[in-house]
Amino acid sequence: MNASTATDRPLRTIPPRGPEAAVLWAFFLGCSWTWIIGMFFPVLLVRDFGLWGWVAFATPNAAGAAAMGWVLRTPQAAASLREKHAGAVRGFTDVTLAFHVLVLLWLGYRLFGPAVLAALAVPTLILPAARRRAWGARLPLLAIGVALLSWGCFFFMTGLPDASLGASFAAPAGLPDRLGPEALLAFGFAAAVGFACCPYLDATFLRARAATDAATGRTAFTLGFLGVFLSMIVGSLLYAGLLIPAFAGEDPALPPVWSIVLGLHVLVQVVFTLACHLRERGDLDPDGRHLFVPAALVLLALLAVLFGDHRLAWLAGPGRPAGPTVGEAAYRLFLLAYGMVFPAYVWLCVLRRGPLHRGVLVRFAVTASVAMGLGVAGFIAGRWPFLLGALAVVTVAKAVPVMAPPAARADAGAPTPPA
């Protein structure tokens, strides 16, 4: 069974066109993309930049993901991309799953206690093939319930005394000064590049696009990201200021009502996201032959959890004299994968003419390694000009020639999707 046939099989209960399909897939897309990035990254952005950091994150995020429904003009383009670049799509899924393990066990356990263990365990029930077929087809409908529950939590939060957008405008007392406009500019460029490219390796997006005709796909992606998803990250501003201490390794001391309401929103969203990506992981690797990478990533995430509150003084930088905690550094390292590694793959391997051969992959690997090193200096250590250097490396790498094998040179043809 290959990736493309696995993609098609569970989708027959949803029509490929029409308002019903557009709405179902819009909710599916919006909730499957909320992640622990959409729910927790605004906390760091509010701390470091205030409201403008959130704007620099939210705008390219929603717009870049919505654009995928327009750039991939046909279902066949999405299916072809998934099949040709199945290894990269699987890698994206593996990183996403490990990222959720890190955040749930490091940050989530501090906030919500043992309930996070259920959030990790329940989605694994979808892994058997029969359950992937049965429950996978229901995920778009379940997404409506997930979104309604989150909206209800947001509505309830607005009535709580500690819910405020104030932390988005004025830095909370006791924190270092917010970072300057040069740091915000560097982050904004990186966010724009990352969110313009990395959605094309998300298996849940490719599934939704392959399941809809041209008009329905465009509508679903537009409503899903400019409507459902955007509302989720707007809601994150209600609690961002409350969670800032958690990233510093401190107890945020959430009132019980906040723990319940926020925990309900976060954990239900996480369960849904994990179920979506575990379903894709099972379809992309039905025989379980590619488990080393996800196992290694989860192990690294667990190590980061064990030392999560330890300060990395050697990564101290402007505005962060004590350095980040191990947990925050690991969180940012995963973010760099979406901001540097996966965009580099799309730029160098997907958006190119000819077959995907070893020379192309070597160029990508070298480029991604250099970009990640510069990204660590810029995004984690706070030397923000290095982040722009990382983007420059990825950009100019396209001009570096690669030597194709004779067979690959003979087979060179049309560009690969998106087209």
Q: Which is more confident, 397 or 120?
A: 397
Largest CA distance in the chain: 68
pLDDT tens, residue by residue, 149-162: 999 999 999 998 87
Looking at residue 312, its pLDDT comes to: 86
Looking at residue 406, its pLDDT comes to: 64
Distance of alpha carbon 354 from alpha carbon 339, whole angstroms: 25
Task: Tell me the CB-side half-sphere exposure of residue 28, using CA atoms within 13 A.
Answer: 30
Looking at residue 174, its pLDDT comes to: 53
- Among the ranges given (70-79, 173-182, 385-394), the one the predictor scored with the smallest mean pLDDT: 173-182
Q: Which of 1-10, 249-258, 334-343 has the largest mean confidence?
A: 334-343
Looking at residue 417, its pLDDT comes to: 47
Looking at residue 98, its pLDDT comes to: 93
**Chain center to CA of 23:** 22
Q: Which is more confident, 315 or 344?
A: 344
Report the pLDDT averaged over residues 288-314.
Answer: 83
- Asked whether the predicted pLDDT for residue 382 surpasses 70, the reply is yes
Looking at residue 253, its pLDDT comes to: 78
- Asked whether the predicted pLDDT for residue 126 surpasses 90, the reply is no
- Asked whether the predicted pLDDT for residue 11 surpasses 60, the reply is no
pTM for the model stands at 0.88
pLDDT tens, residue by residue, 200-248: 999 999 999 999 999 999 999 999 999 999 999 999 999 998 898 888 8
**Distance in angstroms between the alpha carbons of the first and the last residue of the chain:** 26
Report the pLDDT averaged over residues 236-263.
Answer: 88
Distance of alpha carbon 274 from alpha carbon 130, whole angstroms: 17
Looking at residue 12, its pLDDT comes to: 46
Distances in Å between the alpha carbon of 170 and those of 63, 123, 175, 185? 27, 39, 11, 19
Q: Is 322 left (phi over 0), alpha (psi -120 to 50) or beta?
A: alpha
Looking at residue 2, its pLDDT comes to: 45
Q: What percent of the chain has pLDDT over 70?
A: 89
- Asked whether the predicted pLDDT for residue 169 surpasses 60, the reply is no
- Among the ranges given (71-80, 269-278, 351-360), the one the predictor scored with the smallest mean pLDDT: 351-360
- Asked whether the predicted pLDDT for residue 170 surpasses 60, the reply is no
- Asked whether the predicted pLDDT for residue 418 surpasses 80, the reply is no
Looking at residue 7, its pLDDT comes to: 44
Q: Which is more confident, 57 or 121?
A: 57
pLDDT tens, residue by residue, 61-116: 999 999 999 999 999 999 999 999 999 999 999 999 999 999 999 999 889 988 89
Q: What is the 3-state secondary structure (H, E, C) of the chain?
A: CCHHHHHHHHHCCCCCCCHHHHHHHHHHHHHHCCHHHHHHHHHHHHHHHCHHHHHHHHHHHHHHHHHHHHHCCCHHHHHHHHHHCHHHHHHHHHHHHHHHHHHHHHHHHHHHCCHHHHHHHHHHHHCCHHHHHHHHCCHHHHHHHHHHHHHHHHHHHCCCCCCCCHHHCCCCCCCCCCCCHHHHHHHHHHHHHHHHHHHHHCHHHHHHHHCCCHHHHHHHHHHHHHHHHHHHHHHHHHCHHHHHHHHCCCCCCCCHHHHHHHHHHHHHHHHHHHHHHHHHHHHHCCCCCCCHHHHHHHHHHHHHHHCCCCECHHHCECCECCCCEHHHHHHHHHHHHHHHHHHHHHHHHHCCECCCCHHHHHHHHHHHHHHHHHHHHHHHCCCCHHHHHHHHHHHHHHHCCCCCCHHHHHHCCCECCCC
Report the pLDDT averaged over residues 119-126.
Answer: 86
Report the pLDDT averaged over residues 316-322.
Answer: 73
pLDDT band at 362 (very low <50, low <70, confident <90, very high): very high
Q: Which is more confident, 151 or 307?
A: 151
Q: Cis link prior to 321 (omega < 30° from 0)?
A: no
pLDDT band at 198 (very low <50, low <70, confident <90, very high): very high
pLDDT band at 409 (very low <50, low <70, confident <90, very high): low
- Among the ranges given (5-19, 66-80, 115-129, 364-378), the one the predictor scored with the smallest mean pLDDT: 5-19
